[in-house]
Chain A
């Protein structure tokens, strides 16, 4: 069965500090992993996906198949990073996404 776990419901860090949002997954095949972000009262939007290997808004995420993780990282948090973050998984070639429970990130000034 496919499962995505985000162990932290809430995460609070100070501006300028590093931030890491954890995501662990369970999937027997080759997964495709995504991070979506939802700013206050806005629609969800794609932040990044592991196959593109891009850095968006200073965020990066590396797929670690050994640890079945896809943690989201940023070296210096900014106040505008405050949002809800969702990790999601799709089986290779599949369409449906399975989402984690989400982590609400708050950046304190």
Chain B
């Protein structure tokens, strides 16, 4: 579990403000993902990364951007937060370098509230 951390763990912010969530891994996994978890919707993929500076959109990417400047860190940015982005955000990793394995390992989550 200690191999994946998220910061902050909790955040309350106002509508219209920018927010950045950080995912950090020490497992040297190639792939990283950002999900949001909402009641009735389960887990939905926002963006993912398949390598440094290589990212792609997921199912619910509108209003979100990501960056990955090094293997360890994957940042999720809400450029202008809206109340509909109130959610619990999970980071996940998979595919230790050189291995093709779809099993994903999850971070502890970030609870974001947009007022």
Q: Identify the A interface with B (CB < 8 A).
A: 6, 9, 32, 34, 42-46, 49, 86, 90, 93-102
Contacts and interface: CB of A to CB of B under 8 A. Distances in A.
Contacts of A96: 33, 45, 48, 58, 102
Contact of B106 (A32, A43, A93): A43
Nearest to A32: B102
A45 B102 contact: no
Main secondary structure of the interface of B (DSSP, over half): strand
A95 B42 contact: no
B29 to A, nearest CB: 10
Interface string B75-108: 0000000000000001010110000101111111
Given A44-B90, A101-B40, A101-B42, 19 more contacts: A32-B102, A34-B102, A34-B103, A43-B90, A43-B106, A43-B109, A45-B106, A46-B103, A95-B31, A95-B94, A95-B95, A95-B102, A96-B45, A96-B48, A97-B45, A97-B102, A99-B42, A100-B42, A102-B42
B50 A99 contact: no
B12 interface: no
Nearest to A52: B103
Main secondary structure of the interface of A (DSSP, over half): loop
Contacts of A86: 42-43
Nearest to B101: A95
Chain B interface residue bracket vs A: 20 to 34
B86 to A, nearest CB: 17
A90 B102 contact: yes
A42 B15 CA distance: 28
8 contacts: A43-B90, A44-B43, A46-B105, A93-B100, A95-B100, A96-B58, A99-B35, A101-B41
Contacts of B44: 99
A98 B109 CA distance: 18
**In this complex, which of B42, B48, B107 has the most chain A Cβ atoms within 10 angstroms of its Cβ?**
B42
Contacts of B94: 95
B100 A43 contact: no
